[in-house]
Structure 1
Amino acid sequence: MFIRRTTEYFLYAHKMQTINHHHLLRPSTTLLRPLTANLLTPPQSTMSISSQEENPQQSLSQTLTYHNQTKHSFTNYAKAPRGLDWSNQPNPFRRYISAPLRRLLHPPPNSDDDSPPLYNSLFNSLPNPKPISISTISEFFHNSLALSAWKSTGFSTWSLRVNPSSGNLHPTESYIISPPIESISDSGFVAHYAPKEHSLEIRTQIPSGFFPNFFPNGSFLIGFSSIFWREAWKYGERAFRYCNHDVGHAIGAVAMAAAGMGWDVKLLDGLGHDELKKLMGLDNDFEIPSRLVKGKLNSIEFEHPDCLILVFPNGIAEFDVNYENLSIAISEFSKLDWKGEPNSLSKEHVCWDIIYRTCEAVKKPLTLDAKFIVNPFVKSVNCNEDSHVNITLRELVRKRRSAVDMDGVTSMERDTFYRILLRCLPSGFQDKQKRQLGLPFRAMDWDSEVHCVLFVHRVVGLPKGLYFLVRNEEHFDDLKKSTRSDFKWEKPEGCPSELPLYELGRADCMELSKHLSCHQDIASDGCFSLGMVAHFEPTLRNKGVWMYPRLFWETGVLGQLLYLEAHAVGVSATGIGCFFDNPVHGVLGLTGSNYQSLYHFTVGGPVVDKRIMSLPAYPGPGVDA
């Protein structure tokens, strides 16, 4: 009854709203208010992104201001460009001009002697680790961050990648920091990965003792950075959210590709912003304007260092990382001979100043007492193995696509639905869900803070309605207390005992889910859709405001798994960044900011546009998309 009344209210609100605008699959691409006048003249007051004083309370206030200011509502969307300036669309490929280029290999056809592992097998145990070589590093990038296809229609040609991105804008750049690899570098090195060329751009060589002093034999590092301008060009102020979604997707992609090589992964989250900046050779001394500015702002194309991942052989004995000594060693990287200058991405820019104030507020400091804990591999709970196709990891990750439309017809069996959700559990085959121990969540070193509210549309054997997946069971009592009092909170029929899934209420939620996701049919035309609800302000207060981007990373990792699971059972999926934040909370009865919806997703049968031609990823067209 409560869902029917809520749906009727939202449909009425939709009819009464004064805004009538169609939105693309992800977030809003159009600002409903014109840009501020006099944007061509930079303001007098600026502050450096590298010189603000640290103030925890002020940082929290800035972060909460950003989050609330960038919410969509029925009557007002977050600020974004009034229209897309196609002449200034950012180049999707960063290159470091004059840096030495080392071509990576393309995987040979599968052979009986060296066949890639099956996707499903990785959730039970990891294969024996392979040694680092140009062949294994090439396959690692090929299965995680490389191009997956080119698409063409009419006069337009564009590329797709293994790691998804909102609007296919790809703000995430990646780096490898590695010991010597034959045919790549005779010494340890830092390199930028160029996906279009499937190559490494050698930025600098590093001291020979760096890896032996800090990490196990057979280890290397992967670093991620974000170019906010690439995302803000289309999405305006909400872009900071989407950049961090994309970082999460990239973490998930790397975790899965590494697993296929017998490698484990873990964020080196004791390091801070300054250490990551030096390690990747990034210059982000950007002057933040005091208001929105438009013009030629080349420095806005800087890369913000996000995170660093240690990739190491699976099954290695427990080891620790001395962050104090590691930080001292990294401080010397600024003295190295760095090669290559970043290419220009656009002729003109718009600076959405709140993005840069917020990225400054959530910078993580160095944490000297942080513990690097490698948890034993925990397999995932299995349910109905027959629902998943026997497909190799390589085939699956490279055929992953974001559906543009769902057919509104395809249904899913209940056991298949449960199987997908079992894979979404952070702790794997454990009595209680809390720690992130299973694949690919084990890359993150904090307890799970993200849950799922599910709108079930077409799951055979399961009533249509609203359901809730509790991914950290310590939050269960608080969730029940914080949500509507008339929710049932009952386990649905046939639900595995290990799956903390609860039925909240029965109703046809198709129209409701559609209108909550910015009136997009794709949210109602699939088998199910969901919103990822994070334990929000208490996490920022108790763990640190730098957890703000990490909450989005966790949603991105979860989204990456949902993509793979959907394709493994023969359907498709799509991440949805455009949703009405507080109306979602209203459906659940949530007030305040203890819990916030950060990302939406939909899973179902895709509609394939046959007008679009698909071309091989490599070799691609000779010009940039």
Structure 2
Amino acid sequence: MPSPYPLRNLTTPSPPLLHFLPSTHFTLSFFHPPLFHSHAMMLSFSSSASSSSSVSSSSPSTSSTPQQHHEQHSQNNLNQHKLSHVLKYHNQTKHNFNHYARGPHGLDWANQPNPFRRYLSAPLISLLHPQPPYQPPLYHSLFLSFPSPHPISQSTISQFLFYSLALSAWKTTGFSTWSLRVNPSSGNLHPTEAYIVAPPIPSISDSAFVAHYAPKEHSLELRAQIPSGFFPKFFPPNSFLVGLSSVFWREAWKYGERAFRYCNHDVGHAIGAVAMAAASLGWDVKVLDTLGCEELKRLMGLHVFPDFEIPSRVVRGKIPEIEFEHPDCVMLVYPRGVDGFDVNWKELSEAILGFDKLEWQGKPNYLSKEHVCWDVIYRTAEAAKKPLTLGDKFSVEPFQRSGVCGEGFYKGLTMREVVRKRRSAVDMDGVTKIERDAFYQILLHCLPSGCMGGGKQGRQLALPFRALPWDAEVHAALFVHRVVGLPEGLYFLVRNKNHFDELKKAMLPDFLWTKPEGCPDELPLYELLRSDCQQLAKQLSCHQCITFLKDIASDGCFSLGMLARMEPTLHEKNVWMYPRLFWETGVLGQVLYLEAHAIGISATGIGCFFDDPVHQLLGLKDSTFQSLYHFTVGGPVLDKRIMSLPAYPGPDVDA
């Protein structure tokens, strides 16, 4: 993810990150923005493409009454307006060869947001630093089966958070010190906050409670006590809730109007991190996506933030209201093996809406003295807000094991060792190679439906994708650089079989769509084109050279771009799927991070890429499929100037 550690002596934003591949038909000339280069560059593409989007409105039922017809028409107009705004935002925040999405012209270090939210005066409950008495499961074993579930206790809640959302280390150069976390974040800015809603847990609370997780202290801040009958009425025994919210300002401080995208990447990474940590304790996870924004806000106590009136333009000054937390999702964590159970969503909603009458403790701390309000971020968040959607049925999907191409590539690390050693690479060495079967194994763990076979991919049944309650909407275009036994070139991983024909029709007709040699039958991976991808990978990733010595996207073993089926999904499932598509890319990115570290290499997410040139490369001509997130995997180059310090106890620094 862009700039994994802050360089305090920089006065302009460090170049963000990304990747892709070359082809040889038409020639495109473009100029680089002054921030990076000033000379003309040349790229060759197979086809030209333009970004377009069409919005269709649904018509009301012919059997409706005039009043119902009017209400339906008004709702359709509102939905159309929201969809139009979201599509406009997406196009407005694209990076292109001749311009970047709007952002700050330099970094205001004096007002860098505090990455640690605290609720002042709320009781702080320290969590035990976990030393489990049992042997933790090996990382790769979790993709095959879950261990037996552990009971909820202070110890297991501590372990759960320690291996999902806690600090993983501190770094220092001598003049600058900053923290790292188990869950990655764009620019290491960490907009994501987490809340625990749980039944009584000895040594934490004698009553059912809502608590905010304070990662710097590895502690829970008790915000409120909730009715004792809440959990027995709605959820199975030994279960609890995890809520996630986003402080948009933390990302907008560095990345401007594109920050809404990055915040939702981070939500996805956090969902993936939570699902993996829960699995190691024998717990399953599911996003409760029937609930709407108002329910989430009250469940996490976010109604305590003052109302925010969105300005009509970018505004600078003291605007503490933009430090509010936007409610993203709530996940149910429950014991693996629990039989199907139903949730009465209407009664659950009514119970949660009553939470605003609880006695909430703690006042949120301020994060910056001065701010810049990028109004389009907040308007887009409003347009993509999800309401309560009654009629949905909660279902416990059967666990589906992932495919196995070989387990000898993994270093015998436990899940806990992998997640706490995960780092975002700042350089790739341009030398490290991986075996073809290791590459295939990584991709098998990226499939939503596990080992059900390439012709059956779509339902999200495998770890950690099973946390998401919708069918897979995200695919991957892969640029293979250094995989032994696999030709360099462009490949494509189809993660939902129902999209195959649509993808093939939308992309360049010259692509091969052949299975590569030795590819497992259950892996829907296709070779599209053989070519050296490295130069184009560099160019399409905003020409990124983190240390100005290595090219992060071209010097790895492979890189990829995640393509979401976007505009049809927003029409079919509603506009609130827009942030959720980014969540899905974040979960997929989390798997890539962990896979890389488990086999002994590294990875990094790339949020800065030239959107439409990527689409042009593939032959995509409209907004049906859009590139939302990029990634690179390879051998890391370590910066020996940076010293590591333990996560706990850490220095007294809010960074």
Pick the TM interval, shorter chain.
over 0.9
Question: Among 324, 341, 354, which residue is 1:319 paired with?
Answer: 341
Going from structure 1 to structure 2, the CA distance change for 1:119 and 1:18 (only over 3 Å counts) comes to closer
Going from structure 1 to structure 2, the CA distance change for 1:20 and 1:193 (only over 3 Å counts) comes to closer
CA contact under 8 A between 1:179 and 1:187: conserved in structure 2?
yes
| Equivalence for 1:33 | none
| Equivalence for 2:473 | 449
- Offset at 1:17? 3.8
The amino acid of 1:400's aligned partner reads: R
**Residues 186-227 of structure 1: per-residue CA shift (max 9 Å, x gap):** 000000000000000000000000000000000000000000
| Equivalence for 1:48 | none
Work out the CA distance in 2 between the residues paired with 1:571 and 1:17.
Answer: 32
Question: Among 526, 529, 535, which residue is 1:511 paired with?
Answer: 535
| Equivalence for 2:390 | 368
Q: Whose RCO is larger (CA < 8 A, sep 6+)?
A: 2
CA contact under 8 A between 2:111 and 2:370: conserved in structure 1?
yes
The amino acid of 2:411's aligned partner reads: V
Question: Among 160, 164, 167, which residue is 1:140 paired with?
Answer: 160
The amino acid of 1:202's aligned partner reads: L
The amino acid of 2:36's aligned partner reads: H
- Offset at 1:55? 1.3
| Equivalence for 1:579 | 609
| Equivalence for 2:24 | 5
| Equivalence for 2:329 | 307
| Equivalence for 2:651 | 621
Going from structure 1 to structure 2, the CA distance change for 1:356 and 1:20 (only over 3 Å counts) comes to closer
The amino acid of 2:105's aligned partner reads: R
- Residue 641 of structure 2 aligns to a residue in which SS? coil
**Residues 471-500 of structure 1: per-residue CA shift (max 9 Å, x gap):** 001100111100001000000011101000
- Offset at 1:254? 0.1
- Offset at 1:387? 1.1
- Offset at 1:20? 4.7
Which consecutive unaligned segments of at least 5 residues does structure 2 have?
1-20, 39-74, 545-550
The amino acid of 1:371's aligned partner reads: K
- Offset at 1:9? 3.5
Work out the CA distance in 1 between the residues paired with 2:384 and 2:393.
Answer: 21
Q: How does 1:590-605 map to 2 (within 5 A)?
A: 590-605=620-635
Residue 347 of structure 1 pairs with residue 383 of structure 2: no
| Equivalence for 1:493 | 517
CA contact under 8 A between 1:295 and 1:348: conserved in structure 2?
yes
Going from structure 1 to structure 2, the CA distance change for 1:55 and 1:487 (only over 3 Å counts) comes to same
- Offset at 1:261? 0.3
| Equivalence for 1:549 | 579
Work out the CA distance in 1 between the residues paired with 2:37 and 2:156.
Answer: 45
CA contact under 8 A between 2:22 and 2:535: conserved in structure 1?
no
The amino acid of 1:5's aligned partner reads: T
Question: Among 438, 444, 452, which residue is 1:416 paired with?
Answer: 438
- Residue 308 of structure 1 aligns to a residue in which SS? strand
Question: Among 530, 534, 554, which residue is 2:560 paired with?
Answer: 530
Work out the CA distance in 2 between the residues paired with 1:189 and 1:329.
Answer: 14
The amino acid of 1:21's aligned partner reads: F
| Equivalence for 2:640 | 610
CA contact under 8 A between 2:33 and 2:99: conserved in structure 1?
no
Question: Among 270, 280, 284, which residue is 1:250 paired with?
Answer: 270
The amino acid of 1:510's aligned partner reads: Q
- Residue 24 of structure 2 aligns to a residue in which SS? helix
CA contact under 8 A between 2:433 and 2:482: conserved in structure 1?
yes
| Equivalence for 1:392 | 414
CA contact under 8 A between 1:532 and 1:600: conserved in structure 2?
yes
Going from structure 1 to structure 2, the CA distance change for 1:331 and 1:287 (only over 3 Å counts) comes to same
TM-score by length of 2: 0.89
| Equivalence for 1:27 | none
Residue 569 of structure 1 pairs with residue 599 of structure 2: yes
CA contact under 8 A between 1:221 and 1:311: conserved in structure 2?
yes
- Offset at 1:575? 0.1
Residue 184 of structure 1 pairs with residue 204 of structure 2: yes
**Residues 500-552 of structure 1: per-residue CA shift (max 9 Å, x gap):** 00000000010011111111210000000000000000000000100000000
Question: Among 108, 113, 119, which residue is 2:139 paired with?
Answer: 119
Residue 101 of structure 1 pairs with residue 124 of structure 2: yes
Work out the CA distance in 2 between the residues paired with 1:509 and 1:332.
Answer: 56
| Equivalence for 2:506 | 482
CA contact under 8 A between 2:556 and 2:632: conserved in structure 1?
yes
| Equivalence for 2:184 | 164
| Equivalence for 2:45 | none
- Residue 418 of structure 1 aligns to a residue in which SS? helix
Work out the CA distance in 2 between the residues paired with 1:118 and 1:237.
Answer: 41
Question: Among 467, 470, 480, which residue is 2:491 paired with?
Answer: 467
Work out the CA distance in 2 between the residues paired with 1:395 and 1:499.
Answer: 28
| Equivalence for 1:87 | 110
- Residue 522 of structure 1 aligns to a residue in which SS? coil
Work out the CA distance in 2 between the residues paired with 1:121 and 1:21.
Answer: 44
Which consecutive unaligned segments of at least 5 residues does structure 1 have?
24-51
TM-score by length of 1: 0.93
Residue 403 of structure 1 pairs with residue 422 of structure 2: no
Residue 69 of structure 1 pairs with residue 92 of structure 2: yes
CA contact under 8 A between 1:3 and 1:505: conserved in structure 2?
no
- Offset at 1:3? 3.8
Segment drifting more, 268-277 vs 425-434: 425-434
Residue 338 of structure 1 pairs with residue 357 of structure 2: no
**Residues 36-62 of structure 1: per-residue CA shift (max 9 Å, x gap):** xxxxxxxxxxxxxxxx99910000001
Going from structure 1 to structure 2, the CA distance change for 1:518 and 1:182 (only over 3 Å counts) comes to same
* RMSD of aligned residue pairs (Cα, Å): 1.5
- Residue 113 of structure 2 aligns to a residue in which SS? coil
Work out the CA distance in 1 between the residues paired with 2:526 and 2:320.
Answer: 50
Work out the CA distance in 2 between the residues paired with 1:376 and 1:580.
Answer: 39
**Residues 4-58 of structure 1: per-residue CA shift (max 9 Å, x gap):** 326x846x43xx44545179xxxxxxxxxxxxxxxxxxxxxxxxxxxx9991000
**Residues 296-339 of structure 1: per-residue CA shift (max 9 Å, x gap):** 00101000000000000000111111110100100110000000
Work out the CA distance in 2 between the residues paired with 1:210 and 1:314.
Answer: 21
**Residues 540-591 of structure 1: per-residue CA shift (max 9 Å, x gap):** 0000100000000000000000000000111000000000000000000001
| Equivalence for 1:277 | 297
| Equivalence for 2:237 | 217
Work out the CA distance in 2 between the residues paired with 1:547 and 1:17.
Answer: 33
**Residues 148-173 of structure 1: per-residue CA shift (max 9 Å, x gap):** 00000021000000000000000000
- Residue 451 of structure 2 aligns to a residue in which SS? coil
**Residues 63-101 of structure 1: per-residue CA shift (max 9 Å, x gap):** 001000000000000000000000000001000000000
- Offset at 1:622? 1.9
Work out the CA distance in 1 between the residues paired with 2:622 and 2:34.
Answer: 26
CA contact under 8 A between 2:494 and 2:500: conserved in structure 1?
yes
| Equivalence for 1:21 | 36
CA contact under 8 A between 1:19 and 1:75: conserved in structure 2?
no
| Equivalence for 1:37 | none
CA contact under 8 A between 1:449 and 1:551: conserved in structure 2?
yes
**Residues 110-141 of structure 1: per-residue CA shift (max 9 Å, x gap):** 6xx51111111111110000000000000000
Work out the CA distance in 2 between the residues paired with 1:54 and 1:22.
Answer: 44
| Equivalence for 1:36 | none
- Residue 584 of structure 2 aligns to a residue in which SS? helix
Question: Among 443, 450, 459, which residue is 1:435 paired with?
Answer: 459
The share of aligned pairs that are identical, in percent, is 72
Work out the CA distance in 2 between the residues paired with 1:275 and 1:572.
Answer: 39
Question: Among 32, 37, 58, which residue is 2:81 paired with?
Answer: 58
| Equivalence for 1:40 | none
Going from structure 1 to structure 2, the CA distance change for 1:484 and 1:174 (only over 3 Å counts) comes to same
